[in-house]
Amino acid sequence: MSDTTSAGKAIKVSVTGFDLINKPMLNKGVAFNESERNTFRLHGILPPHIGTMEEQIERRLKGMRSFATDFERYAFLRELQDSNETLFYALLVRYIDELLPLVYTPTVGEGCQHFSEIWRKPRGLFLSYPNKQRIRDILADPRFDPVRVIVVSDGERILGLGDQGAGGMGIPIGKLSLYTACAGIHPDLTLPILLDVGTNNTERLSNPLYIGWRHERVVGAEYDAFVEEFVEAVVERWPDILLQWEDFAGSNASRLLEKYRDRLCTFNDDIQGTASIAAGTLLAAVNVTGVKLTDQRIAVLGAGSAGCGISNLLLRAMVDAGLDEDLARASFYLVDRNGLIVEGMEGITPAQEPFVQQRDAIDTWVLEKPYQVGLLEVMRNAKPTVLIGVSGQAGAFTEPVIREMAKHVQRPVIFPLSNPTSRSEGTPQHLMEWTDGRALIGTGSPFSPVTWNGKTTPVDQTNNSYIFPGIGLGVLGAHARRVTDGMFMVAAKVVAAMSPTAQDHNGRLLPPVDQLRAVSLAVAKAVARQAQADGVADPCDEATLDQRIQSFVWEPKYCPYELVPPC
């Protein structure tokens, strides 16, 4: 037994030798000092050199940089996390700008595709459909007693790559790595879970190395019953848990969120986190364009759960800013696979319904084909000031579309948000060229800086990592019982307030990635106060609340160990 969550205090450890070295949260590698090597019987197991964390960071950084591909670097970092977790986070926190694209988007997508080939050590839980009767027994293990945050996926819609089955576990692992790196939540408080209900990916099923359940994906009533069994078991095991849904297919994502959001403290990052960072980045862009939020016309390519989530939060922001709700709804142009969502179309979902354009509103539009309104026609007729992509369609922001948008808008705001990079709707360099250098750009994945007229400008990564770690920290600090829409709204406003554009209209839209810890802490404080205002957390004074938030912030440093008898 051991307690590794008490920062700065001696950690009580009951294992020695190889058992100690093989525990990722306890292993220090060559940084065990002479006294610890004596006490914990490490002589001979370790080489004689006694090193420091600084030396270890430099050694690992050099090793990581020596690889030829980002996927090799991803696999290297995953192995480090599974062998020395404190060192992994010390490296990640210090070099977050360089390592974020490796542990998260875009490289995590390739990591999910090849998860079975690089799987080495258990991390998190695979809850497979054949074991549905064992879920409670699996969760009951005492080592999960400290858990406060779960990220769960069923692997069906991994980024823009589709069904990856058990390989989707790479997403919960990556997300929770950012809970720790960005918000400081201790790794022992987090648990990644993959609901393995099979896969319809024939490439995975035919791979002899595939580690998941080899069965076509369970759907319908059987799927719902399995998820219900999981949720009931989680709430029974951890009544105060924060559960984050991640990369569920659109047909399930919104439905599961609505079903469970009032039963436990839960949110869907693809829907709500994406909406929050999109809103925050747009609010920052307003500082540059001078076009008030209430005067924006917003086109969204991709009217699934993410697109509707973004639209809903922006709608609320526009109404809060004083715009009549009907006028605000009419300012949205959602484009799906069948074109602009217009009154009378078949297959309109409940989430899309609030944003349906009335047929008479487009009667005067100039269309190449009657009643087939594509993205180009929306640009030509609606003249949107903002274009957001969450479609997973690489290159969907074509040159004609962007040039048409730029004809009517002085500073087009363009957010191709689909992940990974290979699924982005547009590349920043093209978007800048096609708008004659006038576009304000935010992307879902990292891109190289763009150059226009001899000036090189960094590209802002409009990434959920600005939002969800702070949401989690705020929920824990406030002891929140639910996650409300108001929390995501206030998180967006905090990110906008921290935008360099708040002081400099020529500044970047978002704070630099190396400031993510500061951003997460600021988001957490605002979210915790919003939880109290929304009545989902008990009130306390600000000093107490800030102290509770800070108590969850862990710094990845080696602590002294104290040997105790086994439990």
Residue 567: its pLDDT value, please? Answer: 63
Report the first-to-last Cα separation within the chain, whole angstroms.
6
Residue 565: its pLDDT value, please? Answer: 87
Distance CA 100, CA 12 (A): 32
Asked about 104 being catalytic, the answer comes back as: yes
Residue 311: its pLDDT value, please? Answer: 97
User: Phi/psi of residue 277, each to 5°?
Assistant: -70, -35
At the top level of CATH, which class does the domain 101-263 belong to? alpha beta
252 is in an annotated binding site: no
Q: What is the mean pLDDT of residues 304-319?
A: 96
Residue 409: its pLDDT value, please? Answer: 97
My answer on whether omega of the bond before 469 falls inside 30° of 0, hence cis, is no
Cα–Cα distances in Å, from 405 out to 292, 361, 441?
18, 19, 14
380 is in an annotated binding site: no
What 3-state class would DSSP assign to 481?
coil
Residue 139: its pLDDT value, please? Answer: 98
Q: What is the pTM of this model?
A: 0.95
Residue range 523-563, pLDDT digits in tens: 999 999 999 999 999 999 999 999 999 999 999 999 999 99
- The DSSP symbol for 444 reads S
Q: Residue 504's CB: how many other CB atoms inside 10 A?
A: 11
My answer on whether omega of the bond before 384 falls inside 30° of 0, hence cis, is no
463 is in an annotated binding site: yes
Distance CA 226, CA 552 (A): 32
Strand order in the sheet with 413-416: 339-340, 332-336, 298-301, 386-389, 413-416, 440-443, 460-461
Residue 505: its pLDDT value, please? Answer: 87
- Beta strand ranges found along 359-439 (DSSP E): 386-389, 413-416
- The DSSP symbol for 458 reads P
Q: Where in the chain is the domain with CATH 3.40.50.720?
A: 273-463
Unique residue bearing structure tokens 């001899």: 454
| Residue 354, Cβ density class (10 Å: 0-12 exposed, 13-18 middle, ≥19 buried) | middle
* Integer Rg of the chain from CA: 24
Catalytic member of 28, 74, 89, 104:
104
The DSSP element (H or E) to which 192 belongs, if any, is strand 190-196
Cα–Cα distances in Å, from 412 out to 437, 438, 549?
10, 7, 38
Q: Where in the chain is the domain with CATH 3.40.50.10380?
A: 101-263
Residue range 380-389, pLDDT digits in tens: 999 999 999 9
Residue 1: its pLDDT value, please? Answer: 44
436 is in an annotated binding site: no
Q: Quote the longest CA-to-CA distance of the chain.
A: 84
**Cβ atoms of residues 218 and 197 within 8 Å:** yes
CB under 8 Å to 397, separation ≥6 — which residues?
A: 301, 387, 389, 414, 416, 425, 426, 431
Mean pLDDT of the chain: 95
**Cβ atoms of residues 217 and 198 within 8 Å:** yes
As a dihedral over the C-alpha atoms of residue 85, residue 90, residue 92, residue 98, rounded to 10 degrees, the angle is -140
Q: Say yes or no: domain 273-463 is CATH 3.40.50.720.
A: yes
What 3-state class would DSSP assign to 5?
coil
Distance CA 391, CA 418 (A): 6
Distance CA 13, CA 554 (A): 19
Burial letters 379-406, b for 16+ CB under 10 A, else e: bbbbebbbbbbbbbbbebbeeebbebbb
Q: Residue 277's CB: how many other CB atoms inside 10 A?
A: 29
Q: Which of 280, 305, 224, 246 is nearest to 472 (CA)?
A: 246
**Cβ atoms of residues 3 and 554 within 8 Å:** no
Q: How many CA atoms lie within 13 A of 528 on its CB side?
A: 28
Residue range 82-99, pLDDT digits in tens: 999 999 999 999 999 999
Residue range 344-359, pLDDT digits in tens: 898 899 999 999 999 9
Residue range 58-83, pLDDT digits in tens: 999 999 999 999 999 999 999 999 99
Catalytic member of 74, 89, 175, 333:
175
Residue 335: strand pairing partners:
301, 340
Distance CA 494, CA 488 (A): 10
Asked about 175 being catalytic, the answer comes back as: yes
Residue range 395-447, pLDDT digits in tens: 999 999 999 999 999 999 999 999 888 999 999 999 999 999 999 999 998 99
Share of the chain above pLDDT 90, in %: 92
Residue 445: its pLDDT value, please? Answer: 87
357 residue type, one letter: Q
Residue range 208-256, pLDDT digits in tens: 999 999 999 999 999 999 999 999 999 999 999 999 999 999 889 999 9
Residue range 134-149, pLDDT digits in tens: 999 999 999 999 999 9
The DSSP element (H or E) to which 258 belongs, if any, is helix 250-260
